Amino acid sequence: MLIELEAITKIYNQGQANEVQALTDVSLRVATGSMLCLRGASGSGKSTLLGIIGCVFPPTSGRAAIAGKQLARLPDRFLTLHRRETIGFIFQRFNLLPSLTVLDNITLPLLPMGVGPRERKLRAQALLAQFDIQHREKFPAGQISGGELQRVAIARALIHDPPIILADEPTAHLDSRLSREFMAIMDRLKASGKTIVLASHDPLVTDHPGLDQIMDIRDGRLHVP
Ligand SMILES: Nc1ncnc2c1ncn2[C@@H]1O[C@H](COP(=O)(O)OP(=O)(O)OP(=O)(O)O)[C@@H](O)[C@H]1O
Ligand SMILES: [Mg+2]
């Protein structure tokens, strides 16, 4: 199993007046090369769960093993290193830097990894070609279309070749054509061996035939439909 969570709890601001229990007793397993969708209403805990799978922060309690490492045992800086090696994150609003070029946005994750400029450019250009956006390489990200932005965000998530791809409500700001295109790209990535976890309540995602598992999350608890 590439992702194994057991009895995970996440409490924000523990012991303070604004304490929130965002996840309760969450257990799940995701096999290498499969695609899972977490479906839930706003505030149900989807982003929190993706944050734990994505090694952004550790759980409050429970066991999380991501790509062979137990998160609870990792000090913060190792959690960050593990995230850089293992996770490609596609954010809801893509989080690209509008004044940087497409090429510079895509290569950002490689900077802390010490990959040299020539290698960074070669890798980015290969992805640009794969997603058919070579002609936008030198454009500022703020000056390209929504569909192009989406593919740049996917390319940035893939540049360091992570085994796990996470996408948080990836279609929330896309029309239905681009949403279908997004899911077609996820199918291709799955076929290439990537493990994918999506969080969404968009039927185009939650009813997608390529999903191997769907789980409902309500008030921080998982329900298998
Ligand atoms: N950093 C934080 N500090 C305190 N509470 C938080 C924090 N992040 C999330 N929460 C709370 O935890 C609960 C779960 O939030 P989360 O963002 O995981 O839900 P979500 O399912 O992703 O919601 P949405 O669909 O609106 O993005 C919510 O009650 C939220 O207010
Ligand atoms: Mg969220």
Exposure letters 187-196 (e unless 16+ CB within 10 A, then b): bebbeeebbb
Q: What percent of the chain has pLDDT over 70?
A: 100
- The residues whose Cβ lies within 5 A of ligand 2, an ion, are 46-47
Show the domain range for 171.
3-95+163-223
Contacts of 92 (CB under 8 A, 6+ apart): 168, 169, 170, 172, 173
Does a structural domain hold residue 208? yes
**Ligand 1 pocket, residue 45 CB under 6 Å:** yes
pLDDT of res. 121: 96
Are 102 and 152 spatial neighbours (Cβ–Cβ below 8 Å)?
Answer: yes
pLDDT of res. 85: 93
- Cα–ligand 1 centroid distance for 83 (angstroms): 21
pLDDT of res. 42: 92
Does a structural domain hold residue 112? no
pLDDT of res. 18: 96
Q: What percent of the chain has pLDDT over 90?
A: 85
As for how many domains the chain has, the answer is 1
Does a structural domain hold residue 22? yes
Does a structural domain hold residue 146? no
**Ligand 1 pocket, residue 204 CB under 6 Å:** no
Does a structural domain hold residue 132? no
CATH number for position 27? 3.40.50.300
**Ligand 1 pocket, residue 47 CB under 6 Å:** yes
**Ligand 1 pocket, residue 20 CB under 6 Å:** yes
What are the angstrom distances between the C-alpha of 173 and each of 33, 94, 146, 156, 178?
27, 10, 9, 18, 9
- Cα–ligand 2 centroid distance for 37 (angstroms): 13
pLDDT of res. 174: 85
Ligand 1 pocket: which of 39, 46, 201 to mutate (most atoms within 8 A of CB): 46
Are 9 and 60 spatial neighbours (Cβ–Cβ below 8 Å)?
Answer: yes
pLDDT of res. 173: 83
Atom of ligand 1 nearest to the CA of 217: 21
pLDDT of res. 94: 85
pLDDT of res. 93: 80
pLDDT of res. 74: 81
pLDDT of res. 34: 97
| CA nearest ligand 1 atom 31, residue | 43
pLDDT-flagged residues of the chain (< 50): none
Nearest to 152 by CA among 117, 128, 180: 128
pLDDT of res. 172: 87
Does a structural domain hold residue 109? no
Does a structural domain hold residue 155? no
Does a structural domain hold residue 108? no
